[in-house]
Amino acid sequence: MSTKTGKLTAAAVSLALGNSFITSTTLAEEWTDRVRLNGFANAVYQVTDEPVALHGESGKGGVDNRGNFTGTSFGFNITAQINDRITLYSQLAGGHEESYVLHVDWGFMGIELNDAFTLRAGNIKFPVGLVNEYIDVGYLYPWLQAPHSFYSQMVPNGPQATRDGYSGGSLLFADSFGDWTLGADLFGGEVKMDSADVRKTQGLTLKADWNDQVLIQASTYTGLMENATTNTAMNNQKHDVTAFGVKADVNNFVVYTEYANVKMGTLTNMKAKTWYATLGYRIDKWLPFFNYENFDKGEGSSLSQQTSSTLGLRYDLMRNTALKMELTRIKTKAGTGMFESTPNDNSTNQFGIGLSVMY
């Protein structure tokens, strides 16, 4: 190779490497702009004066007089915008009930069809309940945990009104009309749980948001129970739920209220009606609130009835960090209520304290 040729070759390689570096840097900058990482963490301690487990099984998430850190969790949300129309959403999460092992909680793809409609497919958070789609992010609501009388997931003896997520697809609609934003979510797929599956799930959620201060939401969905192991009578039963909720944050007043009606085919012991109402008043960084819950499930000899009254206090320590405390009186009027089995006393006290962070 001549000296002249060598110099030209060196210049070409240098130029190619330079272009490669510029291209890589440009791509990295583009992906930095297109990928967002958010996260949350919740540290929660709860204890009752009752030895029978509440809102779960003994040793498996239920709270009793020994106390535990059920509800303690952390996670990361990753949003990646592939192009102007396609976005990927996912959440990695872990918590007390999973021995803090990080796992993929949900992940799906959103395809923006136009300014009003979006198509989603994958493992999607269940769109029933005012806070169900962000139920893990405790900072976004006043309570230590979302009210169990409505958001029970598969807690034994719970109403079974909401689910964690589903595998399938949905068609989202959202558009603004003056101070109102109207939305709809037509969804379908299947729900897989540890003790049962809900096949052929299909539903509709409607929303109306006024000026980001008042949210009205109504949902209905149905599905077919299969592969039930703990309660085999549920197999091939049709599961129907209707739910309605209102959330408001106006002039320092904070209001949440939701109602659900649950039916499961011919099984009268599985039908439930449940509701809760929360009223709070924001004073600077303080938010004292009162929450009342009413839970009814079954009928006749299988009837379970329970009410709970909670005095709660939230204090915003700093940006995106909130300290919460709750004192709850639970009254079991019939059956087991939401306990694992019949409690020793029909009146139970519960105390909880926690810290919620969002970043």
pLDDT over 70 percentage in the chain = 90
Q: Could you report the per-residue pLDDT of 180-232, keeping only the tens digit for each?
A: 999 999 999 999 887 888 999 999 999 999 999 999 999 999 999 998 887 88
Q: What average pLDDT does the segment 89-94 reach?
A: 92
Round to whole Å and give the CA distance between 292 and 298: 21
pLDDT at residue 34 tops 90: no
195 in Cβ contact with 158 (< 8 Å):
no
Q: What average pLDDT does the segment 36-60 reach?
A: 92
* Assigned CATH for 36-358: 2.40.160.10
Q: How is the chain split into domains, by residue range?
A: 36-358
Strand partners, 90: 78, 107
Q: Choose among 206, 213, 154: nearest CA to 184.
A: 206
Q: Choose among 145, 154, 147: nearest CA to 257.
A: 147
The span from the first CA to the last CA of the chain, in angstroms, equals 58
Q: Could you report the per-residue pLDDT of 104-151, keeping only the tens digit for each?
A: 889 999 999 999 999 999 999 999 999 999 999 999 999 999 999 999
Q: Could you report the per-residue pLDDT of 335-356, keeping only the tens digit for each?
A: 999 999 999 999 999 999 999 9
Residue 30: both structure tokens together: 């583009």
